[in-house]
Amino acid sequence: METDRKCPHRAINPATRIRTDPALNCSCTGSRMVGFPVAVVLPAGGSGERMGLSTPKQFCDFLDRPLISFTIEAFERINWIQNIVVVVAKECIDLMKTIIHKYSHKRITLVIGGQTRHRSIFNGLKVFTDSQVYDSKLTKPEVIIIHDAVRPFVEEDLLLKIATAAKDHGAAGATRPLVSTVIATTSEGCLDSSLERAKYRASEMPQAFLFDTIYQAYQQCSDCDFEYGTECLQLVLQYCGSKAKLIEGPPTLWKVKFKVFLTSAELSKCSVSESLSQKACVITGVQQDAVQLAHCLEKTLLTQLMVEVISTPVGEEVSCIQNISSKEYRNIIYVIVNDTDLQEIKQLVESIGNTSLPILYPVVVIMVHLNKSESMPFSNNMDELGAIRLLAKEAKQKNILVYGLLVNYPKDTEKWNDAVANVCLIAGTLIKDRNAVLAGQLFVA
């Protein structure tokens, strides 16, 4: 899309807008709220030139899913973000629609981008203000977050800090320490000078702004800004005098720029998943059989699968939730005896869902049902399966994978030992694989 040179802040060809229903099945986590409206613009119009790929990097598969889908979901799960505007090239509109439909993304407004980064971002902002370009506009937020579509590893804690700082200072952005020394060269290709690395930072995403501030800055941009500029924080400093508050972000903020980055991201994810599978919390009631099974699980999981187990009595789950929130582990095994009431499990899932969970590393909850009743009809197990599936469907939206595991209590000691070994094998596999497709299944040990 070309920009009118006489009026650089208005596009010649209005962008189309595709709005998904925000009221249906929003996958939100956390109980945090902010006292002002916040929205997000995700510029995703890059061509993938540096990666040497025919497919733009934001649409490349990462863990069998388009990279941009992970980035969208990272924002979609945050309940205080009202709208997510995704800006893509015109030729990628149909592909983006397919991704939105396939992965059930909600609260998405799809906008056609421009030829440059700044033009694309400005198109994304105009959906909130320009009723002449769009049939109807979204409610203008007080704070707008701008983030790269190829940075999927962003968490709510940082977004909250950035948005709050933008509200107070007019602009805010994430930074990281420089890892290399920056040097200047002469026209002959010789060293001219070097910068003192400690005085400088690498500007990263996300960045956030008071909406009126960043919009005013774009209205005043020159053609040169639109054509060659990339730094939004510099625009608001230059045209609005707003000095951005800089907040140091985590190492996971890196941007996928080259093909090798996708491989590195997948290896990183596998490495973290492996470490997350090395600790589990077993929750039991006071019934002796449940406690006995928990002790057997502790011993077997540790010796056979090298999984450290922490036992927690029912009623003291708060410590377990705290450990999950502090990222110490992501696995819970809940043992119940002859009780098909899932209310306690539901409360546990709800409590976990109110914590801030990294999107790529879901919590695993395994409900182990110890059946001591020889007369329990098979239909009861089917009823339980239906209840588990319903719970698992709701929990998956909160980044929690729920599985059921049925153990029939045999009187024979040898059979009991075999059953415990099977429970450990199945539980250990579910913890290590973290397979979302199997969530809601009832396994029999």
For each of the domains in the chain, give its residue range(s) and CATH number, in order of start.
17-269 (3.90.550.10), 277-444 (3.40.50.360)
β-pair partners for 283: 312, 334
pLDDT at 30: 46
Nearest to 82 by CA among 113, 126, 39, 119: 39
Whole-angstrom distance, CA of residue 125 vs CA of residue 111: 10
Which residue type, as a one-letter code, is found at position 270? C
Given a contact cutoff of 8 angstroms between Cβ atoms, the answer to whether 39 and 141 are in contact is yes
Q: How many CB atoms lie within 10 A of CB 437?
A: 8
Q: pLDDT band at residue 236, thresholds of 50, 70 and 90?
A: very high
Nearest to 79 by CA among 121, 41, 120, 107: 107
- Give per-residue pLDDT as tens, 167-196: 999 999 999 988 788 888 998 989 988 888
Whole-angstrom distance, CA of residue 128 vs CA of residue 392: 36
The pTM assigned to this predicted structure is 0.65
* Residue 340, pLDDT above cutoff 60: no
Query: Average pLDDT of 279-293?
Result: 73
* Residue 230, pLDDT above cutoff 70: yes
Query: Average pLDDT of 259-278?
Result: 52
pLDDT at 93: 92
Supply the Cα-derived Rg of the chain in whole angstroms: 26
Query: Average pLDDT of 415-444?
Result: 84
Could you tell me which residue, 445 or 266, shows the higher pLDDT? Answer: 445
pLDDT at 417: 82
* Residue 392, pLDDT above cutoff 60: yes
pLDDT at 79: 87
- Give per-residue pLDDT as tens, 130-151: 766 665 678 999 999 999 998 8
Residue with tokens 């000078």: 193
Computed over every residue of the chain, the mean pLDDT equals 78
Supply φ then ψ for residue 62, to 5 degrees. -135, 115
